[in-house]
Amino acid sequence: MNQAPQDSPDEERHLSFWQLLKSTLSAFIGVQSNANRERDFKHGKVSHFIWMGLLFGLVFVLTLMGVVQLVLHFAGA
């Protein structure tokens, strides 16, 4: 009897939160190793990267707005 090949445990592995965060931060600054990029495409879910990117983008914009408000406050404007 011929059975379909089983997925190896490596195929079923998903990215951890920290791996996802590291990959998202690397994408924002434009640096990432080829091995990590291949891992992301093989084991990551697009929806997770989209949500992490949106969340990080929002945090980044809010941080910039806070820094600008702080500078304006100390400048007396």
Read off the pLDDT of residues 43-68 as tens digits, 9 standing for 90 and up: 999 999 999 999 999 999 999 999 99
Categorize the per-residue pLDDT at 3 as very low, low, confident or very high, splitting at 50, 70 and 90: low
Mean pLDDT, residues 28-46 taken together = 90
Global pTM reads: 0.70
Coil, strand or helix at 16: coil
Tokens coding 9 = 């445990």
pLDDT of 56 reads: 93
pLDDT of 76 reads: 86
Residue type, 69: Q
* Rounded-to-integer distance, Cα 49 and Cα 51, Å: 6
Using alpha carbons only, give the angle 29, 17, 21 rounded to the nearest 5 degrees: 5
Integer-rounded Cα Rg, in Å, for the chain is: 20
